[in-house]
Structure 1
Amino acid sequence: MPVPATSLPPRALLRDEVRTRLRDAIVDGTLAPGEQLRDLELSRWLGVSRTPVREALLDLARSGLVLALPGRSTIVAPVDGRAVRDAAAVVASMHRVAVVEATPLFTDDDIQRMREANEAFIAAHAAGDTAAALRADHDFHAVAVDRADNDAVRTVLALYGPVLERAERLRFSSDDADASAARHADLIRHCAARDAQAAAGVAESLWLDLLADTTPQETA
């Protein structure tokens, strides 16, 4: 008999969609640190079965956003100082690789995209819109990641980037966002000059500096 048609996305895509929804809810604080995550409640909220929810929670546990307590429950992980430090070191290295690879390949349109993203970042901060500032910052750094087109870099950033996004929310809701905008401008200048090493140094320091600019609580 013919296979019946279905409107549901393939299982892998459904899991990825669920993971994205849960990740975003954790990063933006909808699901707060320490909050218990019950797969039945989450499946009802998202309108999916429990299987993709469980798979997504396992993925998020590997990236450090979810904490599975043996024999107890699954919770939203606290903003852990050590986790942020570890993730920042890895993410900084990946952005350095992306910028080194991308800078010789940048087009004038790429440089303009960076300028526009930084302008959007500045405007969002001035308006007190932290969520928009985060989106603009992501768009800014995505220019180099897209141009480098390095699948390994993308994979690592997808895994560890969300851990830093919660720390970034603290940074971008403070005056430190002004310093970030200035560093963005430095990075644009070096990229426009096609100075890959100087640009990579600025890109890496932007993420390493996140450690000094945010002070998440340590967990036991």
Structure 2
Amino acid sequence: MPVPQSRGLVSRSLLRDNAYRAIRDAIVDGTLAPGERLNDSDLVEWLGVSRTPVREALARLEQAGLVRTKPGRYTMVSPLDVRAVRAAQSVTAAMHELAVREAMPDLSTTELDAMREANARFAEALRRNDVDAAIAADDAFHGVAVTACANPAVRTVLEQFTPVLRRLERLRFSSLSGRGSVAQHDRIVALCEAGDVEGAVAATRANWQTLLPLLDTVSPDGEEPDGEDGSVSSPH
């Protein structure tokens, strides 16, 4: 669909990063569809910024695999690239495993409670079939360990590669079958509380690996298939 007509979305005090996030989120949620051409002037008008932060944002998005650029010709939203998504899944899973491993010695009762609360919100969002809320709650759950590990490299890598997975995650969070992920989250919390580092890391790995079966069903042209009932199951 076309670039939204609303204007001034990004405040001028947060130009570059917010321009990046706004375009990224529009790609991830399907507002900007795979194959759609991205015109600088349309993005400038939509976001209410100059061309410089828009071009910087597009360069970052190209590095993340979300846009493709042919210098002097066009910039477009990238079709879903199975190889890129598989690589992103591998790297993202490894970063979350590392976050849990490094966070474990310092996870407090407050942080464990925060994980439980996020998982409760995740379960409720799945019951309501609220994709946006499910993604936010899932991010909050995994984000506890990412924050607690205090490793800026982990956050930087996740910032780059997680958006590539989001396009699949949105489809999978649209199904109530993601309830199995609620139990996986509960197991991660229980293992963290018990101080079982290797068990918590293994449970985190298993949680992220549930995304892999969907990759095997994505067609070569990058189309994501629906399930028999028109939905796809949730990853983690």
Q: After TM superposition, is the score higher than 0.5? A: yes
Q: CA deviation at 1:70?
A: 5.1
| Cα distance between partner residues in 1 of 2:210 and 2:71 | 34
Letter in 2 for 1:188: V
* Residue 62 in structure 1 maps to residue 47 in structure 2: no
| Cα distance between partner residues in 2 of 1:41 and 1:216 | 31
| Cα distance between partner residues in 2 of 1:131 and 1:103 | 28
Q: CA deviation at 1:116?
A: 0.6
Structure-to-structure mapping, 1:43-62, within 5 angstroms: 43-62=44-63
1:217 to 206, 215, 219: 219
Structure-to-structure mapping, 1:55-134, within 5 angstroms: 55-69=56-70, 72-134=73-135
Match of 2:189 in 1: 188
Q: Which moved more, 1:130-139 or 1:164-173?
A: 164-173
| Cα distance between partner residues in 2 of 1:182 and 1:79 | 29
Match of 1:4 in 2: none
Are the aligned partners of 1:15 and 1:53 in contact in 2 as well (CA < 8 Å)? yes
Structure 1 segments of 4 or more deviating over 2 A?
69-72, 213-220
Are the aligned partners of 1:114 and 1:188 in contact in 2 as well (CA < 8 Å)? yes
Q: CA deviation at 1:219?
A: 4.0
Q: CA deviation at 1:71?
A: 5.1
Q: CA deviation at 1:217?
A: 3.4
Alpha-carbon RMSD: 1.6
Match of 1:3 in 2: none
Query: For 1:8-32, what per-residue CA distance to the aligned partner results, in whole angstroms no more than 9, with x for missing partners?
Result: 42xxx42111001111111111111
CA gap 1:62/1:219 in 2 versus in 1, 3 angstroms? farther
- Give structure 1 stretches of 5+ with no counterpart: 1-6
| Cα distance between partner residues in 1 of 2:157 and 2:141 | 18
Are the aligned partners of 2:115 and 2:189 in contact in 1 as well (CA < 8 Å)? yes
Are the aligned partners of 1:80 and 1:216 in contact in 2 as well (CA < 8 Å)? no
Structure with more helix by fraction: 1
| Cα distance between partner residues in 2 of 1:217 and 1:50 | 36
Match of 2:157 in 1: 156
| Cα distance between partner residues in 2 of 1:55 and 1:146 | 27
Helix, strand or coil at the partner of 1:75: strand
Q: CA deviation at 1:176?
A: 3.5
Are the aligned partners of 1:82 and 1:218 in contact in 2 as well (CA < 8 Å)? no
Identity of counterpart residues, as a percentage? 50
Query: For 1:86-139, what per-residue CA distance to the aligned partner results, in whole angstroms no more than 9, with x for missing partners?
Result: 000000000010000011110001111111101100100100101110000000
| TM-score, with structure 1 as normaliser | 0.91
* Larger RCO (CA within 8 A; separation ≥ 6): 1
Match of 1:18 in 2: 19
Letter in 1 for 2:85: V
